Structure formats: C-alpha cells, structure tokens
Amino acid sequence: MRGALPAGGPFGVVPAPEARVRRFGLEGLVLGVAVILLLLLVGYPLLWLILAAFGLPPEFGIEYFVRVFTRSQNYDALINTLQLALGTGAVSVAIGVPLAWATARTDMRLRNVVHALVALSYITPPYLTALAYIILFGPDAGQFNRVLRMFIEVDSGPVNIFTMGGIIFVIGIHVFAFTYFLTYSALRSVDSSLEESAQILGTRRWRITLSVTLPLVAPAITGGALLAAIDSLALFGPQAIIGTPAQIVFLPTRIYATIGSYPPRWAEASALSLVLVVLTVIGLAVQRGYLERRSYVTVGGRGGRTTRISLGAWRWPLLLFCLAVVFFSAVAPIGVLVLTAFSKSWADPPSLSNFTLAHFATALFHDQVSVRSIVNSTKLATMAAAVALVIGASVAYLDLRTSVRGRRLLDYLAVLPLGLPGTVMAVGILLAFLRSPIPIYGTIWILLVAYVARFVPLATRSANATFRQVDASLEEAGRITGASWWVAVRRILFPLARPGLLVAFLLVFIPSFSELSATILLYGSGTETIAIAIYRLNDLGQIEVVSALAVFTIAVVLVLSALVNLLSNATSEPRAQV
Amino acid sequence: MRIGRRSVLEGFAAGSSVTILGTGTILGSGLGSRAFAQAAGPAEASQIDVAKAKAEGKVVLYTSLDTKIVDAVIAPFKEKYGINVEYFRGGASDVASKVLAEADAGRAEVDMVDASDLAALLLMKDRKLLKPFKSDASGAIAANLRDPDGTWITDRLTQAVIQYNTREFGANPPKSWADLGGSPWKGRLVFFSSATGDGAPRIYTLAKHLGWDLVKALAATKPLRVQSPQVLTQVLERGERGAGFLQNDNIAWRSKEQGKPTDYLFPAEGVPTELGACGLLARSSRPHAAALFFEWWMSPQGQAILVEGGKYSSRTDVAPPTGSPPLSKLKLLTLDPVEYKKDRAKILDQMTAIFGGEWGS
C-alpha cells in the first residue's frame, strides 16, 4: 500500500467520461494482452486461494476453517493481529494528527523538515526499521538501553522491544504516515472562515481547534487510522523479525510458518489467508465509508483559504514533540543502521577504531548471495515496473478512452491487490503456479508475477491520473487527420503523459526493489533478492553486513522517491505524498 | 526400529565391518530399492561420468549447513572440475519444505539435498523423491547411519551442548541440564529455534531421554529464544545471557576457538545428537554433476572440511574437530527419526504449548 495515497482510498473509483468509440485491430491486441495478463496475474491466484481454502481439490469442505479457529496457535495469531491493528491505528492518531496539525496549520518552525521526515519514515521498508530497533532497544545490548542504564538501575532493559508494545511501536512509527498525510491534506483544505467565525464569537483558539477544526477533518483522521491499521495487519517483516523472538504470533507469520514448515500445509495456509483478506476487506470498506462522509465537510471547495495559526508560547513544546516523533520514526532507525554499517562490531560504541568499510565491501562486492541479491532486485524491479506500467496504462486507457464492457471490473481488479497482504498474494501465486503447466515455480519469473500482481494498482492509478490530464480530443484530432491508433497513442498521448508514466514506473520499482512479504515464500536458490539477503543474514546474526545492505537499499529508495516527488511536482496533479 | 545410542557408538567404535543390532532400523519402514523407478544417471560412484558432469555444468544444493562451511566445501570442487555449485541455505525445515513444494509443483530445481533433520529425508524418501545411490563413502560409515536403499547417508552429527559465558561463569560453570532448570537461571538462559520448528528435534530428544519435567523446568526460566545457533552464540559472547542450552557443538567450538569469552560442555546426563543427512534427487536433470559433488561432499577430504568447521563427520576414518572428544566418549541421546517423522505435528504442538511462540505447527 505504498506510493500515492489516493483521495478516494484504494478502491476509490472515478467516474468515466462520456462513452468512446470502440476500436479493434492493434488496439484490441495490445489491450487484450494486458487484460489477459491481469486476469492471469491477479484473478487466477485468487481463485486458487479460495479453492484451496475450501479443500479443493480433492474435495470441498470447511474443515480448514474449522481448523483455523479451533487450534490455539491460529486463534492466538488472530487475536494478536487484531490487537496490533488497533494499537497501531491508535498510535497513528496519537502522533499523526498533532504532527499534521502542526505542519499544516501552524507557523511552527522546521515544519517542512518534519513533513519530509515523515515521508522518509514511510518510505523506509518497515523490516529495516524493525532491525534498527533491535539494535536500539534490544533489552540488553540495545544502544539506547545502554544509555538509559547509565541513569536507571536495572539489569536489563529498561525498554524491551520484544513485546507486543514494542511491535506496535515499531509498526506504528511506520504506518502513522497514512493518518498524517490524509489529515494533513484535509487540514490544508479546511476553509478558515468557519474558524474565524468562531473566533469572532470569542471562542478560544484551542477550543476552535478541538471543536471546529478537528471535527471537520475527523473522517480523514479515521480513514487514515483505518489505513494504518490495515497496512499493519499485512506487514510480514517486523512481525517476523521482532515477533518471532518475542514469541508473539501474527497471521502473516503464521501463514509463512504453515508453508515454511514441512510438509507444507497449503489448505491451512489458504484458510488463514482468507481470514486475513476478510479482515482487510472489512477494514477497507469501513475506511471507504468514512472517507465518503467527507462530502459534508467544507473541504475541497476551491474558494476556501487556510490561514496559519500563530502558536506563540506553544511553538517550542509542539516543535519538540514533532522532532521527537520524527527522531524515533526516521532519524534514529536510519542513523543507527548507518552507524552499524560502518562499525566493526555493532555492540561496541562508534569510534574511529571501530570504523570500517569492510561490511559495505562484503555486502556490495564479496558475499555471493548479497551481490546476487542486488542484481536480482534491480532486474526484477525494472521488469516488474515495465510490465505493470503496460498493464496499468492499458487498464487506464480502457477505462478513460473506450466504452468496452467490463472495463469497470477490470479497473477494480487492477486496484484489488492494494488490499491484499503480500503473504496472501504469495500463497495464491504458489497454489496457482504449483499446479499450472507454466513452469515458473522456483524461478525468478514467479517473483516477477508476484511483484506485478502486488504493485500493478500503483501503476494503474498513476497512469489513470496522467491520462486524465491529457484531453482525449487531442488524440481524436490526430485520428481524424489520418493517424492510426498506434501512431496517435505513440505520438500524442505518450509524449504528453511521459512524466506521469515515469512516475508510474518508479512507483512500482520502489516497492518491488525491497519487497519481502511475498518474496519470502517464493524465492529459491539463485533468486534471492535484497530483502531475502537481509532476512537470511540477520538470521545468521551478521548484523553489520545486514546494516550495510539496508543502508544501500534505503539510499536507492530515497533517491528514487525524491525523483518521483520532483516529477510529480513538475506535473500539475499534486501527488504530494512520497 | 530406532537408531539407538549404543548402535551409533558401536558404529564409531567398530567401523562398518561389524553388523550391529538395530541396523535394520529404517530398512523396515522404507521401501525396497525395487520400488523405485529406474532413476537416470549413475547408480553408484563408479558410474559417474566426469565429462557428462562437466557438460551438465552446475549442481543445485539445498542445505541447512552453516554457509561458511558450505563455501569451504564448494571451493575446491569448483576449482577441480569447473562445475559451479549453487546453493540455497536455510534451516532444515526451510530446506525440506522447499524440496517438498517443488515436488508438489513437479519441478526439479534441486539436485542434492542436505538437512540436519533425518526425518525430513525419510519423508522425501517416502514420497519417492530421493534416488538410490551407492556411495563410495558407504564403506566408511556405520550401516545404521545410512539407508540400506542408498537414498540417504548421514554426513555429520551435531551434538546439542551447554554453551556459557566465561566472564559470568568462569569459576563455576553449569554442569548439567538439571542445573539449568532452577530458578537462579531465570532470565539468564537462551536457546534457538526457527519459526518453522528447527529447534524441536533436540528438545524432544532431551525430553524423551531425561523427561518432560526437565524441559518444562527449562521453559519456566523464561529463556530468550533466538532464531539460530549463530545468533545464540552472539548473545552469549556479548554477555546478554549467561548460558545457552542445546546449542550446536560446532558453533560453540568455533566461538571458543576464536577466543570469544565462551566455553561449552557435553553434560554427563547425555547429549542429544542430531544426524545431518544428504541425498540425491531422483528427478535431477544433472545426475552426473550432482553425484560427483555428492561423492566429493562425502569423501574424506570433503568431510575433513566439515570437521575444520567444527562438525563431527559421520565417517569413521575422519577424526573429530581439534580438541573435541571422540563421540565414543560421550553419552549420546538419539532420536528415532521414523517416530519423529510420524509425530512431528504433535511434537511441534507440544513445543508451542510449553515454550509459546511460533513453531510451524
């Protein structure tokens, strides 16, 4: 669910412009292939997931669902997952809303820095944040704990990241970005005249904020909190990296364990996956309901204007709070990974004698698996982005420029994966291709399938937004003057849409580059990706090399995200998030 | 129907020429070699065609052995034959589930499998995934440590020891499993298991021989659980925990060799031993290269590299790691892999009940 946060939520559907002429030939071929690919990549695995959960083949039954709820380890996982979602939703409101208010509506200093650092905490892959927090708040060797123990007399701790609270914290400081950005957008578009009226009536400033401003943006806050909660349901990395040693089981890790233990229990994994899907779908439906209630709000009116509130004496406490949040969500985790990557031993304090470049040399040049993983991730992310772009552009084109029947459904199918956890997608793909005559299991191609299937919505939405900005009449003018469909698309649409399409490409490339939750179930010998190398090396305790690889990954993701931002700002459509 | 402690010991003491009681073991449960479809490629070491092996070009190995050792074994082989060995390294369950999933998919990516969980190989044998092959190493390996049908052969034995931090316990180290079960150890112990249950066989072995009460007492100390032996030793080296139970002997050995502040002991009550075994895949598309590598892996030279990494070789003609006692001097506690294979799901449930967390059950 990374990338642009759509105003209408992941399932936000946009009204189609007037019907268009139906054409065949090359057009039909290109679009047809894209549609078939989409059905094969998204529809087919989902079908298998549902079949397998009901015991098919060989026979229909609900015993696996019964098994899911009668075994304590599955039941515990469900309860823990719900707790986690509630916890992170609450955390996201507690820190996301004050931050959004501070940056959107006040004259607080450094608000641009805070805004950028929230974006940074969002684009940092959460499993890397989790690794960083083990280094920071591991109960014994954790760097922050060792500092704290200078002041507090305890044998261990005082903070233990290997707890439910620890996991909620680590995931919370990642997913609060959803609440932050949605609230931020809403606050930016609140018409200040209402607040001013209240002020004229003599209401105090803090009361205005609490009783006028916040209720206006409440749907955005709730919607953001729900997205945060849904995203945390689906994460695999932090739940595995912190949850496993903490002895706390969640649904995604449970699904992984039912397949990763031998013999693989496909049906149970499918049933668990469907439970996770149901949770996600309920969450998304509620979330969409909340966002639609935005209609009663004054936001969105173009004529409104927003004033910044002068904080006076409160500017410093608020700034301190904001800086503390982004320190823990972005600066500290990334900082400690950088320090560790350059340290001979992570458990020793940073110093000149502890400085080394050896881990980068190992990660980038010497370690077989690590080097191969960088090559694989780069290749895969490039291919996935290219394929997703073709599919996404085709779906968007069908939606906006044709009146083909079923294009609505297609659009829905292309957005659906946003609501599906990576682990669940992987189980579906495994089931689908284990039995398929297409022999891609164990090869790099199954990872390509997974990445395209997972991230095609990002390309579709982005392409949709881009094509929307190019008036269809331009292409029609080209057609009237004798250009073929392909020429019209290539010479008129593509050049005009190029920056937007590049954004679409990057929006798929970035999450594919560091994907973990689906990859962990699908990779094989020779197809390790960066996330796998990090995960496996961490299993073997090679924290320093892991950190070097993590720093490299964050650097790549950061540079590309900055590029996305640049391109997005260059086009008129604001896609502010990344 | 079990690989008894005694038979393991005798195997080592007497070499392969002596037939031992209990060697029938897995024979009874396994299928006769006639049951197997005629596998392609060499059926014994003498039939390996090096030219064909080179033409096949590479070998794909799935292994649960420490990567440092795997790299060291592969290097001379690659140098000698110019055949590359690609490997997937994971825990024993990762390895087994990958092989089984590929089989479900009708794929034949992997040529050779090696896992420190014999039950996993027995399951593969049941599913007819392994190929009968008569290794030259058979003569040097006790009969009860290899499949009479030749589908698998033990390559190493891993003993589960107590490792501890010498700064914390230099003067007065723990002496026995029973020692660790007491309340003074609350919050000071560490053990390992992956989320897919790789730590379970040794815990089960301990419980079978010394009682479930001991295991429950260990669990009552609220031990820290880490994901691998490599992380376990780091936790001890840093002094985060005082002692680790059921640690891999080779990892403890290496830590001590490297001068880290740790030491380890083989408790007198008995030491759970885990058989690591390897086999060739029946559907391998590179049978000659795979068999050639298999023979190198099992050869005295190949096994010597495992020993340099701190492993005990299954070969009677390869000495134990430097400074380590011969296995005949230890009281080994063994696991019946047939029973473990059968009851694995139940055992993992038990582990979940006792220790909590994820065991892949």
Please tell me which residue of chain A has the smallest CA distance to B94: A260
Instruction: Kindly tell me if the per-residue pLDDT of B110 is higher than 50.
Output: yes
Q: Give the CB-side neighbour count of residue B133, counting CA atoms within 13 A.
A: 35
Residue A109, burial from CB neighbour count under 10 angstroms (0-12, 13-18, 19+): middle
The CA dihedral of B257, B260, B261, B264, to the nearest 10 degrees, is -40
CA dist A351 and A344 (Å) reads: 10
Cβ contacts (< 8 Å) between A253 and chain B: which residues?
Answer: 195, 358
Whether residue B93 and residue A260 make contact (CB cut-off 8 A), yes or no, is yes
CATH superfamily of B159-272+341-355: Periplasmic binding protein-like II (3.40.190.10)
Class of domain A62-344: mainly alpha
Partner residue opposite A249 with nearest CB, options B87, B89, B357:
B357
What would you report as the CA-atom Rg of chain B, rounded to the nearest whole angstrom?
20
Which residues, in sequence order, are bridge partners of residue B159?
B273
A257 close contact with B: CB closer than 8 A: yes
Could you give the residue range(s) of every CATH 3.40.190.10 domain in chain B?
A: 40-157+274-332, 159-272+341-355
State the nearest Cα–Cα gap between A13 and chain B, in angstroms.
Answer: 38
For an interface test with A, give the residue of B98, B233, B358 to mutate (most A CBs within 10 A): B358
B86 close contact with A: CB closer than 8 A: yes
Domain limits of chain A? 1-10+25-51+360-578, 62-344
Partner residue opposite B197 with nearest CB, options A254, A256, A261:
A261
Distances (CA, A) of A334 to A99, A132, A135, A414, B32: 20, 7, 11, 33, 58
Partner residue opposite A526 with nearest CB, options B86, B105, B106:
B86
For an interface test with B, give the residue of A164, A261, A529 to mutate (most B CBs within 10 A): A261
Partner residue opposite B107 with nearest CB, options A245, A442, A540:
A442
Residue A372, burial from CB neighbour count under 10 angstroms (0-12, 13-18, 19+): middle
Three-state DSSP class for B152? Answer: coil
First to last CA, chain B: 25
CA dist A543 and A341 (Å) reads: 8
Whether residue A262 and residue B100 make contact (CB cut-off 8 A), yes or no, is yes
Rounded to two decimals, the ipTM of the complex is 0.82
pLDDT tens digit string along B288-341? 999 999 999 999 999 999 999 999 999 999 999 998 999 989 999 999 999 999
In the CATH scheme, what is the code of domain A1-10+25-51+360-578?
1.10.3720.10
Whether residue A257 and residue B348 make contact (CB cut-off 8 A), yes or no, is no
Whether residue A140 and residue B238 make contact (CB cut-off 8 A), yes or no, is yes
Cβ contacts (< 8 Å) between B233 and chain A: which residues?
Answer: 541
Domains A1-10+25-51+360-578 and A62-344 share a fold: yes
B294 close contact with A: CB closer than 8 A: no
Cβ contacts (< 8 Å) between A138 and chain B: which residues?
Answer: 240
Whether residue B359 and residue A257 make contact (CB cut-off 8 A), yes or no, is yes
CA dist A108 and A322 (Å) reads: 10
Whether residue A73 and residue B230 make contact (CB cut-off 8 A), yes or no, is no
CA dist A114 and A95 (Å) reads: 12
A157 close contact with B: CB closer than 8 A: no
pLDDT tens digit string along B183-239? 788 888 999 999 899 999 999 999 999 999 999 999 999 999 998 999 999 999 988
B90 close contact with A: CB closer than 8 A: yes
State the nearest Cα–Cα gap between B88 and chain A, in angstroms.
Answer: 4
Q: For Cα atoms A398, A403, A405, give the angle at the middle one, nearest 5 degrees.
A: 90
Whether residue A253 and residue B88 make contact (CB cut-off 8 A), yes or no, is no
Whether residue A434 and residue B356 make contact (CB cut-off 8 A), yes or no, is no
* DSSP class of A122: H
Thinking of the domain B40-157+274-332, which architecture would CATH place it in? 3-Layer(aba) Sandwich (3.40)
The CA dihedral of B151, B157, B158, B161, to the nearest 10 degrees, is 150
Residues in chain A: 578
Residue A468, burial from CB neighbour count under 10 angstroms (0-12, 13-18, 19+): middle
For an interface test with B, give the residue of A262, A429, A438 to mutate (most B CBs within 10 A): A262
Three-state DSSP class for B58? Answer: strand
> Helix A444-469 and helix A407-415: axis angle, to 10°?
120
- pLDDT tens track, chain A, 578 positions: 444 444 433 344 444 444 444 455 677 777 788 788 888 888 888 888 888 888 776 667 777 777 777 888 888 899 999 999 999 999 999 999 999 999 988 888 899 999 999 999 999 999 999 999 998 998 887 888 888 888 888 877 788 999 999 999 999 999 999 999 999 988 888 777 777 787 788 777 778 888 778 888 888 898 889 989 988 988 999 999 999 888 899 999 999 999 888 888 888 888 899 888 888 888 888 877 776 665 444 544 444 567 787 878 888 999 999 999 999 999 999 999 999 999 887 777 778 888 888 889 988 998 888 999 999 999 999 999 999 999 888 888 888 887 777 777 777 777 778 778 899 999 999 888 877 777 787 789 999 999 999 999 899 888 888 888 888 888 888 888 888 888 888 888 888 888 888 989 999 999 999 999 999 999 987 889 999 999 988 988 888 899 999 999 999 999 999 998 888 877 654 444 43
CA dist A120 and A558 (Å) reads: 8
Listed in sequence order, the residues at least 6 apart from A413 whose beta carbon sits closer than 8 Å to its beta carbon are: A38, A39, A42, A43
State the nearest Cα–Cα gap between A446 and chain B, in angstroms.
Answer: 12
Distances (CA, A) of A565 to A124, A454, A502, B264: 15, 22, 11, 55
Look up residue A232 and give its two tokens: 């945390």
